[in-house]
Amino acid sequence: MLSEKIVLSPEEIYEKEFKVDARGYRPQEVDNFLDLIIKDYSEFIKLIRGYERELQSMSDENSKLKQQIRKLQTELEAQESSSGSSNINNVDLLRRISQLEKIVYSKMSNN
Protein backbone atom coordinates (compact mmCIF):
# COMPACT_ATOMS: atom_id res chain seq x y z
CA MET A 1 0.00 0.00 0.00
CA LEU A 2 2.72 2.42 0.92
CA SER A 3 4.70 2.29 -2.32
CA GLU A 4 1.68 2.70 -4.62
CA LYS A 5 1.31 6.48 -4.20
CA ILE A 6 4.64 7.72 -2.85
CA VAL A 7 6.99 8.63 -5.66
CA LEU A 8 10.17 9.60 -3.80
CA SER A 9 12.03 7.90 -1.00
CA PRO A 10 14.05 9.79 1.60
CA GLU A 11 17.20 8.42 -0.02
CA GLU A 12 16.19 9.75 -3.45
CA ILE A 13 15.58 13.19 -1.98
CA TYR A 14 18.94 13.09 -0.23
CA GLU A 15 20.82 12.02 -3.34
CA LYS A 16 19.17 14.55 -5.69
CA GLU A 17 21.72 16.88 -7.30
CA PHE A 18 20.75 20.28 -8.65
CA LYS A 19 22.59 22.25 -11.29
CA VAL A 20 23.88 25.57 -10.00
CA ASP A 21 24.17 28.60 -12.23
CA ALA A 22 25.14 32.19 -11.54
CA ARG A 23 21.65 33.20 -10.39
CA GLY A 24 20.66 29.94 -8.72
CA TYR A 25 19.55 29.18 -5.21
CA ARG A 26 21.97 28.97 -2.33
CA PRO A 27 22.96 25.28 -2.12
CA GLN A 28 23.12 25.31 1.68
CA GLU A 29 19.53 26.61 1.98
CA VAL A 30 18.31 23.96 -0.46
CA ASP A 31 20.18 21.24 1.45
CA ASN A 32 18.74 22.38 4.80
CA PHE A 33 15.23 22.42 3.40
CA LEU A 34 15.66 19.00 1.81
CA ASP A 35 16.91 17.67 5.17
CA LEU A 36 13.62 18.78 6.74
CA ILE A 37 11.67 17.10 3.94
CA ILE A 38 13.64 13.88 4.44
CA LYS A 39 12.84 13.87 8.18
CA ASP A 40 9.14 14.40 7.47
CA TYR A 41 9.13 11.76 4.77
CA SER A 42 10.77 9.23 7.09
CA GLU A 43 8.26 9.99 9.84
CA PHE A 44 5.33 9.69 7.43
CA ILE A 45 6.57 6.30 6.28
CA LYS A 46 6.85 5.10 9.90
CA LEU A 47 3.33 6.34 10.67
CA ILE A 48 1.86 4.72 7.58
CA ARG A 49 3.50 1.37 8.32
CA GLY A 50 2.24 1.51 11.91
CA TYR A 51 -1.28 2.29 10.71
CA GLU A 52 -1.11 -0.55 8.19
CA ARG A 53 -0.14 -2.99 10.98
CA GLU A 54 -2.92 -1.68 13.19
CA LEU A 55 -5.43 -1.96 10.35
CA GLN A 56 -4.37 -5.56 9.68
CA SER A 57 -4.67 -6.43 13.36
CA MET A 58 -8.15 -4.92 13.60
CA SER A 59 -9.23 -6.64 10.39
CA ASP A 60 -8.05 -9.98 11.76
CA GLU A 61 -9.89 -9.39 15.04
CA ASN A 62 -12.99 -8.29 13.16
CA SER A 63 -12.93 -11.50 11.10
CA LYS A 64 -12.61 -13.62 14.24
CA LEU A 65 -15.54 -11.86 15.89
CA LYS A 66 -17.68 -12.28 12.79
CA GLN A 67 -16.85 -16.00 12.77
CA GLN A 68 -17.91 -16.23 16.42
CA ILE A 69 -21.20 -14.49 15.61
CA ARG A 70 -21.89 -16.91 12.74
CA LYS A 71 -21.04 -19.87 14.97
CA LEU A 72 -23.35 -18.66 17.73
CA GLN A 73 -26.13 -17.96 15.26
CA THR A 74 -25.74 -21.47 13.86
CA GLU A 75 -25.82 -22.93 17.37
CA LEU A 76 -28.90 -20.89 18.15
CA GLU A 77 -30.68 -22.03 15.03
CA ALA A 78 -29.76 -25.64 15.76
CA GLN A 79 -31.08 -25.37 19.31
CA GLU A 80 -34.27 -23.69 18.17
CA SER A 81 -34.96 -26.40 15.64
CA SER A 82 -34.19 -29.25 18.06
CA SER A 83 -36.11 -28.00 21.09
CA GLY A 84 -38.40 -25.09 21.69
CA SER A 85 -38.46 -25.56 25.45
CA SER A 86 -34.93 -24.40 26.22
CA ASN A 87 -35.72 -20.69 26.40
CA ILE A 88 -33.00 -20.04 28.99
CA ASN A 89 -30.27 -21.28 26.64
CA ASN A 90 -31.73 -19.32 23.73
CA VAL A 91 -31.84 -16.13 25.76
CA ASP A 92 -28.24 -16.69 26.84
CA LEU A 93 -27.13 -17.24 23.24
CA LEU A 94 -29.00 -14.18 22.08
CA ARG A 95 -27.25 -12.10 24.74
CA ARG A 96 -23.86 -13.42 23.67
CA ILE A 97 -24.60 -12.70 20.00
CA SER A 98 -25.77 -9.22 20.86
CA GLN A 99 -22.61 -8.52 22.85
CA LEU A 100 -20.38 -9.75 20.03
CA GLU A 101 -22.27 -7.67 17.48
CA LYS A 102 -21.83 -4.57 19.63
CA ILE A 103 -18.08 -5.21 19.80
CA VAL A 104 -17.77 -5.81 16.05
CA TYR A 105 -19.85 -2.82 14.98
CA SER A 106 -18.30 -0.45 17.50
CA LYS A 107 -14.81 -1.35 16.19
CA MET A 108 -15.99 -0.90 12.61
CA SER A 109 -17.45 2.53 13.35
CA ASN A 110 -14.22 3.64 15.07
CA ASN A 111 -12.24 3.01 11.87
Whole-angstrom Cα distance, residue 42 to residue 33? 14
Q: Give the single-character DSSP code of 16.
A: -
Amino acid 2: pLDDT: 56
| Per-residue confidence band for 49, with pLDDT thresholds at 50, 70 and 90 | very high
Judge if pTM exceeds 0.75: no
Q: Which domain holds residue 52?
A: 2-110
Neighbours of 100 (CB within 10 A): 19
Centre a 10 Å sphere on the Cβ of residue 7 and count the other Cβ atoms it contains. 6
Domain count, the chain: 1
Model confidence at 46: pLDDT above 90 = yes
